[in-house]
Amino acid sequence: MIFRLFYTSRCLIVDEHEARAEAELIASRAGIKNQSVNITGAMTFDGNDFAQILEGKKADVQQLFKIIRNDPRHTQVTVIKQTHALKRHYEGWGMRALNSSNYDELVRVMGV
Ligand SMILES: Cc1cc2nc3c(=O)[nH]c(=O)nc-3n(C[C@H](O)[C@H](O)[C@H](O)COP(=O)(O)O)c2cc1C
């Protein structure tokens, strides 16, 4: 079984241009790092809020999420849903960066 966690958070970088650049950096670094720990997922950033799905072995996801939730670049980290699934939705994606207009896709994948 695959464990899947969905959360949202508020970005603490005030300047929107800077925030968007940072969000891109976070997603591309995450893409590489997550592959090495067998985590897949997707995220969106709309200029203010992050939304992210992390999938993998439960212990792996929880360990990574502990690091992420303490990241000083965001606050109000709110778990929306945690669930188990038979297979990964984002197979092959360490961290898929989606346009914020695709937020609904994350919601659909999570069955929220
Ligand atoms: C919204 C958000 C999502 C993040 N997602 C990931 C992620 O999926 N994988 C990851 O390794 N780091 C992620 N990070 C970064 C981690 O919080 C942390 O900075 C990073 O893992 C540290 O890596 P480093 O020691 O190589 O700098 C995220 C940060 C934020 C603010």
**Ligand 1 within 6 A of 74 CB?**
yes
The reported pLDDT for the residue numbered 40 is 98
CA–centroid distance, residue 73 to ligand 1 (Å): 10
The reported pLDDT for the residue numbered 95 is 98
**Ligand 1 within 6 A of 14 CB?**
no
Residues 6+ apart with CB under 8 A from 15: none
The reported pLDDT for the residue numbered 23 is 97
Q: Kindly report, residue by residue over 6-20, the tens digit of the pLDDT.
A: 999 999 999 999 999
CA–centroid distance, residue 42 to ligand 1 (Å): 13
Closest-CA residue to 82 (of 23, 2, 6): 6
Name 54's bridge partners.
Answer: 5, 41
The reported pLDDT for the residue numbered 25 is 98
Q: Kindly report, residue by residue over 22-73, the tens digit of the pLDDT.
A: 999 999 999 999 999 999 999 999 999 999 999 999 999 999 999 999 999 9
Would you give the distance in Å from CA 68 to the centre of its chain?
A: 9
> pLDDT-based confidence at 85, cuts 50/70/90?
very high
Distance in angstroms (rounded) separating the CA atoms of residues 63 and 17: 30
Q: What is the mean pLDDT of residues 68-89?
A: 98
- Domain 2-110 sits in CATH at 3.30.70.100
DSSP secondary structure of 38-101 = T-EEEEEE-SSEEEEEEEE-HHHHHHHHHHHHT-TTEEEEEEEEEEEESS-SSTT-SSEEE-GG
- Which residue's CA is minimally distant from atom 28 of ligand 1? 68
